Amino acid sequence: MENIYLAIVLAPLIGSIVAGLWGKKIGTAGAHTVTIIGVAISCGLSFYVFKHHVFDGGAVFNGAVYTWAVSDGFTFDIGFLVDQLTAMMMVVVTFVSLMVHIYTIGYMKGDPGYQRFFCYISLFTFSMLMLVMANNFMQLFFGWEAVGLVSYLLIGFWYKRETAIYANLKAFLVNRVGDFGFILGIAVVLMYFNSLDYEDVFSNAGNLSNITIQVIPGWDWNVITLICMLLFIGAMGKSAQVPLHVWLPDSMEGPTPISALIHAATMVTAGVFMVARMSPLYEWSETALSFVLIIGAITALFMGFLGLVQNDIKRVVAYSTLSQLGYMVVALGVSAYAAGLFHLMTHAFFKALLFLAAGSVIIAMHHQQDIRKMGGLRKYLPITYATSLIGSLALIGFPGFSGFFSKDAIIEAVGHSELFGSGFAYTAVLLGVFVTALYTFRMFFLVFHGKERMDEDTRSHLKESPLVVTVPLILLAIPSVFIGGLTIGPMLFGDYFGSSLVVFKEHDVLAQMGEYFTGALGFVLHGLVTPAFYLSMAGLATAWYIYMKKPSIATHFKEKYKSIYNVLDNAYGCDDFNDKWFAGGARRIGNVLFKVGDAKVIDGVMVNGTAQTVGWWAGVARYMQTGYLYHYAFAMILGLVGLVSWIFIV
Amino acid sequence: MTVALSEFAPLLPEIFILTMACAVLIIDLYLTDKNRHISYLLALATMAGAGIVTYIVMPTTPEIVLAGTFISDQMSAVLKMFVYLITAGVLVYSRQYLVERDLFKGEFYVLVLFAVLGMMVMISGHNMLSIYLGLELLSLCLYALVALQRDSSTAVEAAMKYFVLGALASGMLLYGMSMIYGASGSLDLMEIAEHIKGVQEKDLVLLLGVVFIIVGLAFKLGAVPFHMWVPDVYHGAPTAITLFISTAPKIAGFAIIIRLMADGMGDLQHYWQDFLIVIAVLSLIIGNIIAIAQTNLKRMLAYSTIAHMGFLLLGIIAGTAEGYSAAMFYTIAYAIMGLGAFGMIILLSRAGFEADRLEDFKGLNDRSPWYAFIMLIIMFSMAGVPPALGFWAKLAVLESVVNVGLTWLAIIAVVMSIVGAFYYIRLIKLMYFDKAEDTALIEGTLDLKAILSANGIAILALGIFPGALLAICTNVML
């Protein structure tokens, strides 16, 4: 199996290297062929690994493949931990990545950076696989940073656009904040566990559950809580949780395929995956779990509100991603890790679908992204319309669609929890359902129904996208409908995850729900009588009424409650605050340091001063190299005399 | 003294090289200039063959034969392998260069083969006499190689200086050995070690012997203040010869230091440690600082070699198995990097033109991005920037020094590395940010380009995956 794991990781890397270094030689067709073959191999083998671990009951693999370095007694291994959790992530990552690769052929056609793009997304697949398959914190950190790097490169893919450069810099800086916490967390792990290996750390977590540390003098912190909080700060950056969410909406400056792959389906869920993987640590700290829960709940609700006022089709989907990530994090907070991962999986499919469908609309509209200038696209883009409808229904949790199972499970789980903050979280996720349905169908109606508001020139060119675009849509639509119902039993209430997740008995809300779980159909029937269902239907109906029946309501609301609208339109002022205080403050401090510290002290005195001194000495010493043989011999004799006299002196 | 035939088995690689060297000497007489490449191919085949023979006779436990004069152990096998590898690299690098300068003669190959034999005897010497014999065989070959270009006044001058100073150093080394012999009554390293163990108080004769031996060794390595020959010889000799002098012999030099200092006089460590510290610190400072003032790349690399030797000595100074293996790793890493750096000069040189001034590297990136990149790797590696090989070499050495409590020494070494980084990075700046003065196409034959690319990639690859080489160096020192 070890060779198969290696092949899964290396195939996309090889594809990426070939497309990146020899892109010009192999041409556009060569670039997409080689990368798609790489990812297809990876995807096929991932399915095989999935079968091996899930259906054939293969043993968990945990071992080092290569010793990268040994330093001061610590061995840094490159190793894999493959169990059911990893297998699921591998299948999701490689499958969505494969779909996106194919879709890109159509979306990026004629772009001058075609080969570069394929190089990046294959590199991303490699990095993401390294992240999910890691068996130690070092490799996790490598994957974590590598996906961040590729994300940075891809957001700024159209590097001549000023907005794209702004967005990728922002993503980079915000992630720095998260990663700083993350690496501190890893440092604490190393300090207290003396190992970076998952297995060592997890098995010793219980021994450390009572040890405290004083980060700030006089204030005791439980070590496990500290580790979990710090690691979660990393997750907040990567999975865009409040207040480190600000980079994700801007990241939509990147090409749509990567919005689907990186900023919806895979990379942003890395934080969720990481917390689930660390469940043996998180279980020991209720404080950290509460923290996770509250952050997730805030994100789930308040980011949803923002989706209501966006007019850019991709930004609406982006805010919905933020909100859905909040749902996943909430699930983690109440120890329903399985439910969080379950939502991660269904979300990966239907959100990738929605993004790609949005991309298809954007292609048809000649890169017009404003939904106010669309409308009535249903008859021009039938396949995109049908798949979008499926994606939207899945997103709002319409009974029977995959999103329904995962979202309802999370809401129920929160309802069962007794953790601090669960009451607030329950209200937030319930209200969130209404908001989700409202903004989703607002977008859906404005794009596909109603009056055709585009200009004549655009309308005359409207046509359905090519096969390379629609086939991935259809292939993603299938799991968006069915995967939830098919897998809810084993994943949430069965023993699918086996030993990969650890949940203490007193936290185990899923076990409580499992007592009356009677199968997917029963879950659907039960769902019809929950408040969540009525709230989502209400949201749908409201959207229909406001945007189809009486558009005047929307305008009226906007004028009457201008202050609320402005707050939402400014995204609660987070960006302004960051710009003014963090970015502006950093610039002001930097300016002072530059003028005084850098230019005067370092450049003037230290650098130029040292360089002059060293240069002077070099000139003098060079003078001693006269070229005369007897000078050289004399120097040797002097050296000898010096050493001999040393013996007599010492 | 009777010697069983089986005692010659560990010497098979040496016997093989000797036979082949004689064969090349005779065969070359019958060759015309047109088919001179047969000598070249034979020399290359000798290196490959010696590699195979060495691998076959590699022992698991040390074998000492021929009345204690010769030792065959894992360290000697590994070091010899690298000597073959580096020498083979030198042969490939230098072929075209020699052809263009009318130096493509059988003498070159015969001298190189005998030099290799000398290095092997040094590596496997277990008696002061055999070590000295190997050293002299190597030195004599090198003197002759430097003078190979008889019509070049600089080469002849360099050879002359090298020879006179080398004779002086050899005399000192021999004098030191005679004093050790006088004090201990033996030339065998093991017996010397036994004797030293029994000595309680400070024995002046013994210590004087140590000092003279250190002076001799420091000269061969090119450590300060016995370094004066290095820049002149590196600069004056044809680049292909410089390539050889600056790489493979350092491996043999490392071996005799280990044999003499660690194996033979390990119990005098607290004495020789002080001497070596003085020499290492001086080498680090003088080497790095003077290199800054150089405008000629070969001279700059000569001074950088001096600094590298200072670094190498740090591992020896540590005096632990960890330190010795770090020094070994450093030596091998240095040899690989030096090979690439001088090889780049060969690539850029043409008939009648030596690309050995810093200006010749201006704008290399415009002329050939790939070779500029290779040079970038080599320079970063020499400066010790991760992830290149040189970083791990420096790290290992520094770690070993810190572990024996000599942190101040490590600090000096690090500060001097920063000074050193200046002139390495200056070259990178010239390559990438300056306009080319020389816009001639980079010619270079295919074999030269291939080996240079392989050399550069090896430095990068060994830097990313240093585990295997580190493990080898650690294991042979156990």
Percent of chain A scoring above 70 in pLDDT? 99
Whether residues B228 and A627 touch (CB distance < 8 A) is answered with no
B423 touches chain A (CB under 8 A): no
pLDDT digits (tens, 9 = 90+) for B324-358: 999 999 999 999 999 999 999 999 888 778 888 88
B221 touches chain A (CB under 8 A): no
> What tokens appear for B114 in the block?
């005998």
Q: How far is B433 from chain A (nearest CA, A)?
A: 21
- Whether A45 and A36 have beta carbons less than 8 Å apart is answered as no
Q: Which of B161, B212, B214 is facing A629, going by the closest CB pair?
A: B161
A635 touches chain B (CB under 8 A): yes
pLDDT digits (tens, 9 = 90+) for A183-216: 999 999 998 888 888 888 888 888 887 888 877 7
B160 contacts on A by Cβ (under 8 Å):
629
DSSP H/E element including B65: strand B63-65
Whether residues A621 and B169 touch (CB distance < 8 A) is answered with no
With CA atoms as reference, the chain A residue closest to B168 would be A633
Whether residues A66 and B465 touch (CB distance < 8 A) is answered with yes
Whether residues B290 and A621 touch (CB distance < 8 A) is answered with yes
CA nearest neighbour of A406 among A331, A509, A333, A352: A331
> What tokens appear for B28 in the block?
């070359």
With CA atoms as reference, the chain B residue closest to A625 would be B228
A649 touches chain B (CB under 8 A): no
pLDDT digits (tens, 9 = 90+) for B65-97: 888 899 999 999 999 999 999 999 999 999 999
B 335-354 near A (Cβ less than 8 A): none
Please enumerate in sequence order all residues whose Cβ is within 8 A of that of A413, keeping only pairs 6 or more positions apart, or say none: A331, A334, A336, A339, A509, A510, A513
> What tokens appear for A506 in the block?
């007193």
Whether residues A639 and B225 touch (CB distance < 8 A) is answered with yes
pLDDT by position in tens, chain B (length 478):
567 788 888 999 999 999 999 999 999 999 988 888 899 999 999 999 999 999 999 888 888 988 889 999 999 999 999 999 999 999 999 999 999 888 888 899 999 999 999 999 999 999 999 999 999 999 999 999 999 988 888 899 999 999 999 999 999 999 999 999 999 999 999 999 999 988 878 888 999 999 999 999 999 999 988 999 999 999 999 999 999 999 999 999 999 999 999 988 888 888 899 999 999 999 999 999 888 888 899 999 999 999 999 999 999 999 899 999 999 999 999 999 999 999 999 998 887 788 888 888 888 888 888 999 999 999 999 999 988 999 999 999 999 999 999 999 999 999 999 989 999 999 999 999 988 877 777 878 899 999 999 999 999 999 988 888 888 888 888 7
- Whether A426 and A300 have beta carbons less than 8 Å apart is answered as no
Give chain B's radius of gyration (CA, Å).
21
SS3 B9: helix
Please enumerate in sequence order all residues whose Cβ is within 8 A of that of A290, keeping only pairs 6 or more positions apart, or say none: A333, A419, A420, A421
Q: Which of B168, B208, B399 is facing A647, going by the closest CB pair?
A: B208
- The Cα–Cα gap between A572 and A593 comes to 32
B284 touches chain A (CB under 8 A): no
B307 touches chain A (CB under 8 A): no
| Amino acid letter, B396 | A
Whether residues B467 and A68 touch (CB distance < 8 A) is answered with yes
Check whether the bond before B387 is cis (ω within 30° of 0). Answer: yes
B40 touches chain A (CB under 8 A): no
Q: How far is A482 from chain B (nearest CA, A)?
A: 45
Q: How far is A641 from chain B (nearest CA, A)?
A: 10
A638 contacts on B by Cβ (under 8 Å):
225
DSSP 3-state helix, strand, coil percentages of chain B (rounded to 5)? Answer: 80, 5, 20
A605 touches chain B (CB under 8 A): no
Q: How far is A232 from chain B (nearest CA, A)?
A: 30
A76 touches chain B (CB under 8 A): no
Tell the residue number behind the tokens 């006499």, with chain if given: B129
A73 touches chain B (CB under 8 A): no
Q: Which of A622, A633, A640 is facing B290, going by the closest CB pair?
A: A622
With CA atoms as reference, the chain B residue closest to A638 would be B225
β-partners of residue A70 are: A75
- The Cα–Cα gap between B418 and B427 comes to 15
- Whether A54 and A91 have beta carbons less than 8 Å apart is answered as no
Predicted local confidence at residue A552, as pLDDT: 81
Cα within 13 Å of Cα(A102), Cβ side: 18
Whether residues B470 and A70 touch (CB distance < 8 A) is answered with yes
- The Cα–Cα gap between A285 and A224 comes to 6
> What tokens appear for A645 in the block?
């006299």
| Amino acid letter, A372 | R
A618 touches chain B (CB under 8 A): yes
Q: How far is A599 from chain B (nearest CA, A)?
A: 20
Whether residues A618 and B292 touch (CB distance < 8 A) is answered with yes
B278 contacts on A by Cβ (under 8 Å):
642-643, 646
A642 contacts on B by Cβ (under 8 Å):
225, 278
Q: How far is A67 from chain B (nearest CA, A)?
A: 6
pLDDT digits (tens, 9 = 90+) for A318-349: 999 999 999 999 999 999 999 999 999 999 89
Whether residues A646 and B225 touch (CB distance < 8 A) is answered with no
Decide if the complex's ipTM is over 0.95.
no
Residue of B221, B224, B228, B300 to mutate, testing the A interface (most A Cβ within 10 Å of its Cβ): B228
Q: How far is B453 from chain A (nearest CA, A)?
A: 15
Predicted local confidence at residue A295, as pLDDT: 93
A632 contacts on B by Cβ (under 8 Å):
161, 165, 228-229
Q: Which of A69, A631, A643 is facing B214, going by the closest CB pair?
A: A643
With CA atoms as reference, the chain B residue closest to A626 would be B228
Please enumerate in sequence order all residues whose Cβ is within 8 A of that of B218, keeping only pairs 6 or more positions apart, or say none: A639, B226, B279
Whether residues B419 and A614 touch (CB distance < 8 A) is answered with yes
Whether residues B289 and A617 touch (CB distance < 8 A) is answered with yes
Q: How far is A608 from chain B (nearest CA, A)?
A: 13
Q: What angle do CA A191, A197, A203 make, to 5 degrees?
A: 85
Q: How far is B163 from chain A (nearest CA, A)?
A: 11
A382 touches chain B (CB under 8 A): no
Q: How far is B297 from chain A (nearest CA, A)?
A: 15
Q: How far is A617 from chain B (nearest CA, A)?
A: 7
A72 contacts on B by Cβ (under 8 Å):
399
The domain segmentation of chain B, as residue ranges, is: 2-477
> What tokens appear for B389 in the block?
């090989």
Cβ density class A568-587: b for 16+ within 10 Å, e for less = beebbeeeeebeeeeeeeee
pLDDT digits (tens, 9 = 90+) for B223-258: 988 999 999 999 999 999 999 999 999 999 999 999
Q: Give the other-Cβ count within 10 Å of B176's Cβ.
A: 22
Task: Report residues of chain A scoring pLDDT below 50.
Answer: none
CA nearest neighbour of A330 among A233, A241, A455: A241
